Amino acid sequence: MPDNPFFIKMKKKRRHQERLADTENLFRTASDFFFLEFLVLTLVSWLFLDASPPLVLGLLGISAITGLSALLYRYFAQQPAVFNIIALGFLAGIFWVSLYSGGLQSPFLFVLGLLVLLAYMSRPLLGHLYLGMSMVCVALLWWQGQQASLSAYNAVPETEQGVFAVLVFILFMAFLGWVFGRRFIEKVHGVYQGKEDLEKRVEEKEMLLKEVHHRVKNNLQTVSSLLRMQSRSIEDAQTLSQIRSSQNRVVCMAMVHEMLYQREDLSCIEYSTYVHQLGDYLVKSIRGPESNIRLNIDIPEIELGIDTAIPLGLLINEAVTNALKYGFEGRDSGEISISLEKEDKHEFVLRIGDDGIGYPESMDYQTSKSLGLKLIHNLSRQLKGSVIRDLSKRGTNYIIRFQEVNQDPFHSIA
């Protein structure tokens, strides 16, 4: 999905609609189940427990409210007023039934918890509101018990009060298990299913990304081979040198992609291994396999992303190539040193140089015709870094400070 405000807004809207539909489905299921439960409880209390009319009428009123709720949620589910009207009537019914089934000792007070839970699942603010009103109902029941100001009594016969309590508890637990328990299991199953689907998509994308790196590497190797074939027909020494330098740059980038598709972590490469391979390749390619040029590489276990690894690799390639081509003229031996260290979380220091003949201090990369020298400075700029020539050492030595580059759609080293 593109990082576009329109797409992000549409995605958020879709998620909100999914949550809203899920909540509406929960309330419909709860209303249906409440209606059946309270209808059963009303009939049992009236026909078998010989409960007095106030309790039966209260249960019948709650059954009517939940039945109406089941109908309204099928046609007016997205109207906030529907929930509030039903919830207020339900709250009044719970208070009335609790008042005539034992007051604070009534088992029916359990149902208050279900109402508050449903309110919180609708909106946190509604949850706070109905929690407060439930506390008010409990306080009123306590006050009524203390003052006996209302002519309320336990409408359930004393011999049947235990049966009524067990029946309410069973219906309460059935509601929790059928509505919330089943929903919880479905949600957990959905989470695991979504996790499996996500892992599968991630694996597919990793395989696709590896294939992309593999094909990029193959394409770069094809370009390198074409340059090598082209160089065989070139007799001009300067042109031939330029073609081979371009070939080495292509190989330098191909090595990064080769290392990436061979790794489990496709976001970065282990840079010490990469520099060793690149250095060995350049020495053999430019000076031959029997060369006595030594590489002194001191790089700890540092991992760099592709947007840093490629420009830094090209920079190292230019510095090493210049050293091998011009730094050891008239010599069969020499040393090229490369060290890399991390100064803080984002900043690195690269020290690269040789013990060759060097070049004049007065040479300026901006006026020089050396493409390699220009590339070293331009690549360091791409890495948000700086280049300082270390004149305290023999030969050509650079101290390059740079930062790890975040992903960018396009880089230019011109």
Tell me the pLDDT tens digit for each residue of 350-374.
999 998 888 877 777 666 677 778 8
Of 220 and 314, more confident: 314
140 shares a domain with 26: yes
Contact between 168 and 94 (Cβ < 8 Å): no
- 1 pLDDT above the threshold of 50: no
pLDDT at residue 292 greater than cutoff 90: no
Judge whether 6 lies within some domain: no
90: nearest Cα among 78, 80, 82, 100: 82
| Domain identity same for 181 and 288 | no
Distance of CA 134 to the CA centre of its chain: 40
Note whether 44 and 178 are same-domain residues.
Answer: yes
Residue 42 pLDDT level (bands cut at 50, 70, 90): very high
Domain for residue 394, yes or no? yes
User: In the prediction, which pLDDT does 144 show?
Assistant: 83
Is 178 found in the same domain as 77?
A: yes
Long-range contacts of 23-27 (CB under 8 A, 24+ apart): 23/121, 23/122, 24/73, 24/77, 24/78, 26/118, 26/121, 26/179, 26/183, 27/69, 27/73, 27/77, 27/83, 27/118, 27/122
166-214 tens-digit pLDDT: 999 998 888 888 887 877 787 778 788 888 888 888 788 778 777 887 7
Phi, psi of 286 (to 5 degrees): -95, -40
**Statement to judge: residues 58 and 185 lie in one domain:** yes
- Shared-domain flag, residues 193 and 271: no
Query: Does residue 207 sit within a domain?
Result: no
Long-range contacts at 107-116 (CB < 8 A, ≥ 24 apart): 107/164, 107/165, 107/168, 107/169, 108/168, 109/138, 109/141, 110/168, 110/169, 110/172, 111/168, 111/172, 112/137, 112/138, 114/172, 114/175, 114/176, 115/87, 115/90, 115/91
Does residue 154 fall inside a structural domain?
no
Q: Which domain holds residue 286?
A: 267-403
Is the CB of residue 335 less than 8 Å from the CB of residue 320?
no
pTM of the full structure:
0.57
Task: Give me the DSSP letters along 262-311.
Answer: HSS-TTEEEHHHHHHHHHHHHHHHHH-TT-EEEEEEE--S-EEEHHHHHH
Q: Do both 276 and 195 map to the same domain? A: no
In this predicted structure, the answer to whether residue 410 has a pLDDT above a threshold of 50 is: no
Q: Is 353 among the domain residues?
A: yes
pLDDT at 46: 92
Same domain, 172 and 82: yes
Residue where a domain terminates, one of 153, 173, 199: 199
**300-349 pLDDT, tens per residue?**
988 888 888 888 988 998 899 888 888 888 788 889 999 999 887 778 99
Which amino acid, residue 76?
Answer: F
Work out the percent of the chain whose per-residue pLDDT is above 90: 22
42 and 178 both lie in a single domain: yes
pLDDT at 97: 92
CATH number for the domain spanning 273: value is: 3.30.565.10
Return the structure tokens found at 126.
């509604």
Q: What is the mean pLDDT of residues 17-34?
A: 78
Please compute the mean of the pLDDT values over residues 381-393 and round it to a whole number. 88
227 within a domain of the structure (yes/no)? no
Residue 225 is assigned to a structural domain of this protein? no
Same domain (yes/no): 191, 286: no
| Cα angle: 193, vertex 199, 203; to 5 degrees | 145
Cα distances from 18 to residues 13, 31, 82, 83, 87, in angstroms, run: 9, 20, 20, 19, 23
Say what the pLDDT of residue 40 is: 92
* pLDDT for the residue numbered 141: 87
pLDDT for the residue numbered 150? 55
Asked whether the predicted pLDDT for residue 138 surpasses 80, the reply is yes
Tell me the pLDDT of the chain averaged across its residues: 83
Give me the percent of the chain exceeding a pLDDT of 70: 90
Q: Note whether 282 and 387 are same-domain residues.
A: yes
In terms of domains, do 291 and 190 share one?
no
Q: Is residue 213 part of a domain?
A: no
Which pLDDT belongs to residue 409? 47
**Number of domains within the chain:** 2
pLDDT band at 392 (very low <50, low <70, confident <90, very high): confident
Using CA atoms, how far apart are residues 336 and 323, in angstroms rounded to an integer?
8
Task: Give the span between the Cα atoms of 54 and 56, in whole angstroms.
Answer: 6
